[in-house]
């Protein structure tokens, strides 16, 4: 199974031999190209530049993955590509290549939901979670809690009302003058901050519900930064307080979601899932409350082709098929997916 990911600013390709009992053992190759340097001058992703770079990088990455696995293109039995949500131009690059390659080889192709790929990424690990579980999908574009009753049976318990957690990280880093991409830079700086020097609110934890809102937190940080001496230690102190506020909020909401569903398994997925402080605090909460936390390896927290290959393989193995039309969905409700 060839997996292709081109939803935003990373071109990911992977090859997976489908093994239903242990999907992770079947991962044969995994290649990834990040466009961070391309977009750094603009302080964010430029959609047209992202699309053109996918055009340049996708075929070489496919060749590289095949070489890693010692396979030829004729060995492919299926193609999975990200069909949405994402940037429409970027999605069309992966969809066009995936569909054309599958048509030429006479093998099935399937468009995969990007967020389903993320929430299934922990299944690539040696000890994968079994549904039912609750998934926290937390990235630059999403902050949502999802109840997973079975693969393809998803209920969104909570979603972001404005900025996603990763977006809040990036925007806060930018207003404090940190380099792009801001999220990882801010997290690294937070490790040097002094605990208690600043404190920010934990948004929407003072009321019932599982939705998220981080735009107000970002404003609190802006005001605190503007009123400060803006020195290097202050920058680190503010970063630490901000990270603690985000992480505490996510942990509180995860605990609520597990209690509401009666589930004892929590899956963390998406780019913010690589944050060390979040991983540490969730692990502590799991030990205290008696639930188990499943993380994908760091390589599979961010966008990648392996998660798309896995999600596509599961759906093709369940008998699902799509016609040969090249279609993408920049907006796509996760709850609308059929069960696998």
Does residue 218 contact residue 261 with C-beta atoms inside 8 Å?
no
Which residue has 């949405």 as its token pair?
84
Binding residues: 114, 118, 137-141, 170, 183, 275, 303
Closest CA to 2 of 116, 102, 123: 102
Contact between 316 and 82 under an 8 Å Cβ cutoff? The reply is no
- For residue 110, whether the previous peptide bond is cis, meaning omega lies within 30 degrees of 0, is no
How far apart, in whole angstroms, are the C-alpha atoms of residue 48 and residue 8? 10
Q: Which residues are annotated as a binding site for substrate?
A: 137-141, 170, 183, 275
Residue whose tokens read 């053109």: 52
Transcribe 161-173 into DSSP letters: SSS-HHHHHHHHH
Nearest to residue 108, comparing CAs of 18, 19, 21?
18
Answer yes or no: are the C-beta atoms of 11 and 61 closer than 8 Å. yes
Known binding residues for Fe cation: 114, 118, 303
The answer to whether 214 touches 204, Cβ cutoff 8 Å, is no
Which residues neighbour 314 within 8 Å (Cβ) at sequence distance 6 or greater?
Answer: 120, 151, 340
Spatial CB neighbours of 45, under 8 Å, sequence gap ≥ 6: 8, 9, 35, 39, 87
């Amino acid at each position: 199974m060839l997996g292709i990911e081109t939803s935003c600013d990373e071109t990911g390709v992977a090859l997976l031999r489908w093994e239903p009992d242990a999907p992770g053992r079947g991962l044969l190759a995994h290649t990834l190209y990040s466009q961070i340097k391309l977009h750094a001058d603009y302080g964010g992703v430029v959609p047209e530049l992202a699309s053109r770079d996918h055009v340049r990088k996708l075929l070489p990455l496919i060749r590289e993955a095949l070489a890693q696995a010692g396979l030829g293109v004729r060995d492919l039995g299926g193609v999975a590509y990200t069909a949405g949500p994402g940037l429409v131009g970027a999605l069309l690059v992966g969809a066009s290549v995936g569909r054309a390659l599958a048509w030429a080889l006479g093998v099935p192709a399937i468009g995969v939901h990007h967020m389903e790929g993320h929430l299934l990424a922990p299944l690539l690990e040696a000890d994968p979670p079994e549904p039912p579980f609750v998934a926290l999908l937390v990235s630059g574009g999403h902050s949502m809690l999802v109840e997973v009753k079975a693969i393809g049976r998803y209920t969104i318990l909570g979603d972001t009302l404005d900025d996603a957690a990763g977006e809040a990280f990036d925007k806060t880093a930018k207003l404090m003058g940190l380099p792009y991409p801001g999220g990882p830079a801010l997290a690294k700086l937070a490790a040097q901050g002094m605990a208690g020097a600043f404190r920010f609110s934990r948004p929407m934890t003072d009321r019932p519900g599982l939705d998220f809102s981080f735009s107000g937190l970002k404003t609190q940080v802006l005001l605190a930064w503007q009123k400060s001496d803006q020195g290097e230690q202050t920058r680190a102190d503010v970063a630490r307080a901000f990270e603690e506020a985000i992480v505490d909020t996510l942990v509180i909401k995860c605990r609520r979601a597990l209690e509401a569903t009666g589930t004892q398994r929590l899956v963390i997925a998406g780019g913010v899932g690589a944050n060390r402080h979040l991983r540490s605090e969730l692990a502590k909460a799991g030990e205290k409350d008696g639930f188990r936390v499943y993380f994908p390896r760091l390589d599979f927290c961010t966008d990648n082709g392996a998660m798309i290959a896995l999600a596509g393989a599961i759906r093709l193995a369940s008998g699902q098929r799509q016609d040969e039309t090249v279609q993408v969905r920049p907006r796509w409700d996760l709850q609308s997916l059929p069960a696998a």
